[in-house]
Structure 1
Amino acid sequence: MASQTSASLILLSFLLFVGGTLAGYLSAGELSASLTGILSEELSPILKLPKPLLALAVFANNLSKTFMAMLLGLLLAIPPILFILANGFILGVVSFEVVESKGILFLLLGILPHGVFEVLAAILSTALGVRLGEAVYARLKGKSFEVWRTLNLCLKFYFSRIMPLLAVAAVIEAFITPSLLSLL
C-alpha cells in the first residue's frame, strides 16, 4: 500500500472516520443515553474478564471486524465505508457522553493510548477494502484488473501490518488503560 492511490485511499478513510466522529459527537445529545446503554450492556461481561482474556477478547473482536470490513470491500467498497463511518459515529457519541460525565482527561486517557493503534488499523482496513472494491469495479467495467492479485496483496498487508497494530491496541486497552484511568 505504498502508492499514490494507496495514500489517497488512506486519506479518504481517515476523512470518513473524522466525518463519522463529528456527526456522532454533534448528534450525541439525542442518542448518547440509548447508545451508551446498549454498549454498556454488550461490553459489561467482557470488561469483567481477567486482563489476559480481556486482551484476547478485544483482539479477536477488532480482528474479526476489521478483517470483514476489508474483505467485504469486494462488494464494491460499500461495507468498509459504512464500517469506518459507523466506528467514527460511535466514537463521537461515546466521546460526547464521556466528556459530559467524566471530563476530557478521562476521555483522553481512556481512548487515546490504545485508540491510536486501533483507529489506524480500522482506517487501513477500510483503505484496503476500498482498494478491493475498486478492483472489482474495474473488472466489472472490463478493464484488466487482477482482483485475486489485489486480494492477495491486501491479505499480506493485513496480516503483516494491521494484525500487529490490533494486538498492540488490545494489550494497551486491557493492561494499561485501566491503570491510567485509576489515576483519576
Structure 2
Amino acid sequence: MKNLNRNHNQASSDQIKAYKLGQLQQQVESYEQERIQLWNQFEEIEFEKDAIQKDLEETYSIALQEREKSKGLLQRLMSAVESRDSMRGRLGNMTAQRNRVLRQVEELESQKQEIFQQLKTTTDKLGEAYQQIGVVQEEYEQDMTELAQAYREVAPEQCEQLPPKLRELLEQINDNYGL
C-alpha cells in the first residue's frame, strides 16, 4: 500500500521565515536603489536648473546691455536728425545698425522667454522629483518599520541562526525603525 502522507515536502516554519526575511531584505535593497536613483535624478535636475538660471541671468544682462546700446544709438540718431550735418549717409548706416540692434533685442527677448519656459519645466520636474522622493521615503519607512516588527517577532534562537551580517543589519533596522 502507498504512503499517502504528502506533507513530507512542505517547508518548515524556519525555512518559511528565512525565505520571508530574504524577500524583505531584497525589497529593502530595491527600495534603497530606487531612493538613490531618485536622489540622483533630483541632483541632475538641480544642476540643470542652476545652469538654466545662470544662462538666464547672462542673457538678461546681455539684453540690458543691448538695450542700453540701442538707446545710445537712438539718441545719436536723434542728434543726427537735429544737426542735419551729413545726415543722409550717417542716417542710413545708423538706421541699419538700429534695426540690427532691435532684431538682436527681439531675439534676446525670445531667448529669454524660452529660458523662462525651460526654467518652469525644470522647476515642475523638480517638484515631481520631490513628490516621488516623498512617496518612496514613506514606503521605505513603512517597509523598514514592518521589517523591524517582523524581526522582533522572530525567536531569539532563530535570530542566532541567521548570518551575522544579516542579523546585524536587522538589529540596526530594528534600532532605527522599531516602535
The answer to whether TM tops 0.5 is no
TM-score, scaled relative to structure 2: 0.32
TM-score, scaled relative to structure 1: 0.32
Higher relative contact order (CA 8 A, sep 6+): 1
